[in-house]
């Protein structure tokens, strides 16, 4: 995936501005985190000076009382350093959590408003990766990234400045290994950067694969694909494992190399420093101070390369996330009309529509449905029936022509106003992992319990709902797996009734319902359709014989139009479809 490539910019300041913009309301906390980071670096640099003074001033002169006072100061500084470290770590982490909380809400809100066509070409698992693991990586920019690197860098600067202030000779001895250290750190950074990127890429692939196959588990099992899909998953998981092992390898090499270089540096200090003490160029306390400073110096150097990679991966993750946020693929809501109640007249005027480029699904479609009329649309699979219904509420956007509701283009309505007047009952009903009540009301506080019960009674669904454990509070499993197809569709009818729409779209809503269930909703459907404009797509032609008008679709065009009797008498495609179904019923 092209958007997964590392740009190589760990300090992309425009991107950093956007990241820190997430915590713009917490400037004081940012200041406190930086302050404690700086104070911690100062304290860490000062502790070896205390040890030097204790050795030169008190130990060599056998001053026990003075040594005791300095030991108390030493322990006080250690406690202070611990407190500063705690506060720095806490506030860095706190800022990170505030940032990802705000960022995750922004990402989800943005994703909610994408056109459905965006999901047609974007794997859901990829969006999940952006919303979950990539957002978590952004938190590391605060917790283990920029502020921590700032603290480590300041500590390195303070220590080096103090070392040269104390003894330039011992400084040169101790820093003789630095060229090798810089080379090792650079190689480590580059190698780990590549392995981390591989890990992120494989995580996205794992998420996409798992999401798709768990959702489609019925197909996997029905077609006995378990062994094959397990083998495919194992290959992806192996790539993920190998990417992680490569990063482990680089860490297992780098840290021992640092330890060896640190030991060599200390050895050079002892060798050169001992000679300097013997010829009175320096003193024993300074020699001990330098040994401590080297130990303190190598600690941030050892970690800064790792933190640099953490920062870079956080920046890469942020870049991916902001790319999602910068993607303008939402339905344009520039309309100004906010009709609380429409009449329900629907008109298509020379409408052309394609999902991709100019591979037209609908070709020059024109028709009109008067308020309260029932329009039925029939035709072979792929004729464009569902595409017509998807354009009415702007779930998809037409490329040519115009669609009018009450003589006004759908583009001129506020999107919420338009969709609040239209209810859709689909063949494949989606239910969330929640109670039946919440799946019916969809958390709309304007729908009372009494209204919900009345709608269920009207449909006839109250009979099966009341038999479930907990009734309306029965917990529906993912996608409604514990309910039958007919039961799920009855729930979708209740949703439609409670919305009280002026325009009702039934997209093959009864094609998967058994005869008993179909009878249950037949009367309720008549009540629901009464006084409302309805557009019905149906394979069962017997259910639409009373339609005011029937459109017959073929290859994206309207080839016939009229009432049932007219189309039968015409002897065209509709009659062939009707006779085919009638023959199947007889057989």
Contacts of residues 97-106 at CB distance under 8 Å and 24 or more positions apart, as own/partner, are: 97/139, 98/22, 98/23, 98/26, 99/19, 99/22, 99/23, 99/138, 99/139, 99/141, 99/142, 100/135, 100/136, 100/138, 100/139, 102/22, 103/22, 103/135, 103/138, 103/321, 104/131, 104/135, 106/325
Q: Which phi-psi region, left, alpha or beta, contains residue 116 (left: φ > 0; alpha: ψ -120 to 50)?
A: alpha
CA distance 291 to 281: 17
Q: How far is CA 460 from CA 234, 466, 521, in A?
A: 48, 11, 7
Say if pTM beats, i.e. exceeds, 0.85. Answer: no
* pLDDT score, position 346: 93
* pLDDT score, position 401: 93
* pLDDT score, position 370: 92
Q: How far is CA 304 from CA 48, 137, 163, in A?
A: 21, 17, 20
The alpha-helical segments, DSSP class H, found in 54-132 are 64-112, 116-121, 124-131
CA distance 365 to 29: 60
The answer to whether the beta carbons of residues 67 and 58 sit under 8 Å apart is yes
The answer to whether the beta carbons of residues 2 and 322 sit under 8 Å apart is no
The distance in angstroms from the start CA to the end CA of the chain is: 52
CA distance 289 to 171: 11
Residue whose tokens read 């009345």: 454
CA distance 156 to 10: 20
Q: How would you classify the pairing of strands 400-405 and 346-354?
A: antiparallel
| Rg, the chain, Cα only | 35
Q: Give me 60's structure tokens.
A: 């060599």
Domains of the chain: 11-326 (1.20.1560.10), 346-586 (3.40.50.300)
* pLDDT score, position 3: 47
The closest of 586, 555, 554 to 572, measured between CA atoms, is 554
Q: How would you classify the pairing of strands 533-537 and 374-379?
A: parallel
CA distance 158 to 150: 12
- Residues ≥6 apart with Cβ < 8 Å to 126: 1, 204, 207, 208
CA distance 199 to 337: 49
Which residues are bridge partners to 558 per DSSP?
A: 553
- Residues ≥6 apart with Cβ < 8 Å to 289: 48, 49, 51, 52, 166
Q: Give me 293's structure tokens.
A: 């400073």
- Digit-by-digit pLDDT tens for the chain (587 residues) are 444 444 445 556 778 888 878 888 888 888 888 888 888 878 888 888 888 878 777 777 777 787 788 888 888 888 998 998 888 888 888 888 888 888 888 888 888 888 777 777 777 777 877 888 788 888 877 767 677 777 778 888 888 888 888 888 888 888 888 888 888 878 887 777 777 778 777 877 887 788 777 777 777 777 778 888 888 888 888 888 888 888 888 888 888 888 888 888 888 888 888 888 888 787 888 888 888 888 888 888 777 766 777 777 777 788 888 888 888 877 788 888 887 778 889 999 999 998 877 789 999 999 999 998 999 999 888 888 888 888 998 888 898 999 999 999 999 998 888 888 888 888 778 888 888 888 888 888 888 888 888 888 887 788 888 888 888 888 887 666 778 777 888 888 888 888 888 898 888 655 555 666 666 666 666 766 777 898 988 777 877 888 899 999 998 899 999 998 898 988 888 888 888 876 544 44
Q: Is 424 helix (H, G, I), strand (E, B) or coil?
A: strand
- Residues ≥6 apart with Cβ < 8 Å to 525: 493, 506
**DSSP tag of 24:** G
Contacts of residues 144-148 at CB distance under 8 Å and 24 or more positions apart, as own/partner, are: 144/92, 144/307, 144/310, 144/311, 145/307, 145/310, 145/311, 145/314, 146/16, 146/311, 147/33, 147/34, 147/37, 147/88, 147/92, 148/37, 148/92, 148/307
Q: Give me 437's structure tokens.
A: 């009540």
């Amino acid at each position: 995936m092209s958007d997964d490539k590392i740009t190589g910019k760990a300090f992309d300041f425009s991107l950093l501005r956007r990241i820190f913009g997430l915590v713009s309301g917490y400037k004081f906390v940012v200041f406190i985190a930086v302050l404690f980071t700086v104070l911690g670096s100062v304290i860490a640099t000062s502790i070896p000076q205390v040890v030097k003074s204790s050795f030169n001033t008190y130990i060599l002169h056998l001053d026990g009382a003075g040594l005791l006072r300095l030991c108390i100061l030493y322990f006080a500084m250690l406690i202070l350093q611990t407190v500063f470290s705690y506060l720095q770590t806490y506030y860095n982490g706190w800022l990170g959590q505030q940032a990802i909380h705000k960022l995750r809400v922004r990402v989800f809100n943005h994703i909610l408003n994408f056109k459905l066509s965006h999901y047609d070409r974007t794997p859901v698992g990829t969006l999940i990766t952006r919303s979950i693991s990539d957002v978590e990586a952004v938190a590391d920019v605060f917790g283990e990234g920029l502020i921590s690197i700032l603290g480590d860098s300041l500590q390195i600067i303070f220590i080096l400045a103090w070392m040269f202030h104390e003894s330039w000779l011992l400084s040169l001895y101790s820093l003789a290994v630095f060229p090798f250290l810089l080379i090792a750190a650079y190689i480590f950074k580059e190698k780990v950067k590549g392995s981390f990127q591989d890990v992120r890429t494989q995580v996205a692939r794992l998420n996409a694969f798992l999401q798709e196959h768990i959702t489609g588990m019925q197909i996997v099992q029905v077609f006995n694909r378990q062994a094959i899909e397990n083998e495919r998953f194992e290959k992806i998981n192996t790539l993920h494992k190998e990417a992680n092992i490569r990063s482990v390898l680089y860490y297992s090499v780098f840290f021992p190399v640092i330890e060896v270089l640190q030991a060599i540096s200390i050895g050079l200090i002892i060798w050169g420093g001992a000679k300097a003490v013997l010829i009175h160029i320096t003193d024993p306390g300074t020699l001990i101070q330098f040994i401590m400073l080297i130990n303190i110096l190598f600690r941030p150097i050892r970690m800064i390369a790792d933190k640099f990679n953490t920062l870079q991966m956080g920046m890469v993750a942020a870049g991916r996330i902001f790319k999602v946020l910068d993607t303008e693929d939402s339905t344009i809501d520039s309309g100004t009309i906010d009709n609380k109640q429409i009449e329900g007249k629907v008109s298509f005027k020379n409408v052309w529509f394609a999902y991709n480029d100019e591979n037209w699904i609908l070709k020059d479609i024109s028709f009109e449905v008067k308020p309260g009329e029932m329009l039925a649309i029939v035709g072979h699979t792929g004729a464009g029936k569902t595409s017509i219904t998807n354009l009415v509420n702007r779930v998809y956007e037409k490329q040519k022509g115009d669609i009018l509701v009450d003589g006004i283009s759908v583009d001129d309505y506020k999107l919420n106003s338009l969709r609040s007047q239209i209810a859709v009952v689909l063949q494949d009903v989606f239910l969330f992992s929640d109670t039946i009540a919440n799946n019916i009301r969809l958390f709309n506080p304007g729908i009372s319990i009494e209204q919900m019960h009345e709608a269920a009674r009207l449909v006839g669904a109250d009979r099966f709902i009341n038999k479930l454990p907990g009734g309306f509070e029965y917990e529906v499993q993912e996608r409604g797996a514990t309910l039958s197809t007919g039961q799920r569709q009855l729930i979708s009818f209740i949703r439609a009734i409670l919305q009280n729409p002026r325009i009702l779209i039934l997209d093959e809503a009864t094609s998967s319902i058994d005869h008993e269930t179909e009878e249950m909703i037949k009367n309720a459907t008549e009540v629901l359709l009464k006084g409302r404009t309805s557009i019905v797509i149906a394979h069962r032609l017997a259910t639409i014989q009373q339609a005011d008008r029937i459109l017959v679709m073929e290859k994206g065009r309207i080839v016939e139009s009229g009432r049932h009797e007219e189309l039968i008498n015409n002897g065209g495609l509709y009659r062939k479809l009707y006779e085919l179904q009638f023959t199947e019923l007889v057989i």
